[in-house]
Copies of this chain bind each other. A is one copy, B any other.
């Protein structure tokens, strides 16, 4: 198996297939740790991880925090309001200060695309992108891929459909890169107003008909609908959206019984997904959450554990 060489995890776009596979393989062993009675290994003892979140987040922040703590790292939480002034300079300044305090790794979430790359260019500390603007959210895609692989045994050749607001979704973008690299066929489905213009250049198929896409899919990734988009007039009405692109039980009944239903959370039940579907037996939403901790432990471990970055 390949060895991990990168200092950062900024996106899946620039990751090799083998690097993705190494993360998945590493996550497998870490998933055991969280299932144990004593959920703690000393792998990152004496390392310092800073969580630098410029957007509100509970799940992703907690997932990274648990991952770091179960690896015995020291964790520093810094939550900053993205609406505060002088951002661009300020976040780099904050990050340089953290590095000067010998922080080994910075997990960063920011409303502007590219911020993790900027940090990476200026820092010796490792950087993990926990979501940047509309660009990428690589650990979310990695946990999605991990979950599908656990459930269906492989990725290559699978038909994966991503449904929702493709235009603004960093989860969609990371999943497209990741699943494609591992050989899946990816279809994106959603209203035309929420479809990026050159999305086909990413090597995906485009569908505006959810039911027929579901029939051909092994796995359906349902994106969270940002209700604010309606005000931006990307959307007619939530009811209209739910009718056309919401994953209802009746649509699900027409698809394969083996179709996996996934969602990055938190769900808008009754909008992009029916409550019965989200809680149903084809849903693996909570398993995604469980696997998220394992993926983040794997990434933290690969970036910090072996070579003593910083």
Q: Provide the residues of chain B in CB contact with A36, threshold 8 Å.
A: 46
Give the bracket for the number of chain A residues in contact with chain B. Answer: 35 or more
Oligomer copy total: 3
Q: Provide the residues of chain B in CB contact with A94, threshold 8 Å.
A: 58, 266
User: What per-residue 1/0 map shows which CB atoms of A90-113 lie under 8 Å from chain B?
Assistant: 100110111111110000000000
- A76 at the binding interface (Cβ < 8 Å): yes
Q: Report if A66-B101 is in contact (Cβ < 8 Å); known contacts: A39-B47, A46-B40, A266-B90.
A: yes
| Interfacial residues of chain A within 39-76, with CB under 8 A of chain B in the complex | 39-40, 45-48, 50, 58-59, 62-63, 65-66, 69-70, 74, 76
- A240 at the binding interface (Cβ < 8 Å): no
Q: Provide the residues of chain B in CB contact with A102, threshold 8 Å.
A: 34-35, 39, 66, 290, 293
- A37 at the binding interface (Cβ < 8 Å): yes
Instruction: Return the contact of A45 from the options B38, B58, B59, B76 (Cβ within 8 A).
Output: B38
- A300 at the binding interface (Cβ < 8 Å): no
- A308 at the binding interface (Cβ < 8 Å): yes
- Do residues B289 and A97 form an inter-chain contact, with CB atoms below 8 A? yes
- A267 at the binding interface (Cβ < 8 Å): yes
- A89 at the binding interface (Cβ < 8 Å): yes
- Do residues A290 and B35 form an inter-chain contact, with CB atoms below 8 A? no
- A269 at the binding interface (Cβ < 8 Å): yes
Q: Report if A289-B100 is in contact (Cβ < 8 Å); known contacts: A38-B45, A46-B37, A308-B37.
A: yes
Q: Provide the residues of chain B in CB contact with A116, threshold 8 Å.
A: none
- A292 at the binding interface (Cβ < 8 Å): yes
Q: Report if A97-B59 is in contact (Cβ < 8 Å); known contacts: A37-B308, A102-B35, A290-B102.
A: yes
- Do residues B39 and A66 form an inter-chain contact, with CB atoms below 8 A? no
- A286 at the binding interface (Cβ < 8 Å): yes
26 pairs from A and B in contact (CB 8 Å cutoff) = A34-B101, A36-B46, A37-B308, A38-B47, A40-B74, A50-B62, A58-B78, A59-B97, A62-B97, A62-B98, A63-B101, A65-B76, A66-B74, A66-B101, A66-B103, A89-B269, A93-B265, A93-B266, A96-B286, A97-B266, A97-B289, A99-B286, A100-B287, A100-B290, A101-B289, A101-B290
- Report, nearest first, the 8 A-B pairs whose CB atoms are least far apart: A38-B46, A100-B289, A40-B46, A100-B286, A34-B102, A69-B74, A37-B308, A100-B290
* A34-B101, A38-B45 known, 10 other contacts, Cβ within 8 Å: A37-B308, A39-B47, A40-B74, A58-B80, A66-B74, A66-B102, A66-B103, A69-B74, A96-B286, A102-B293
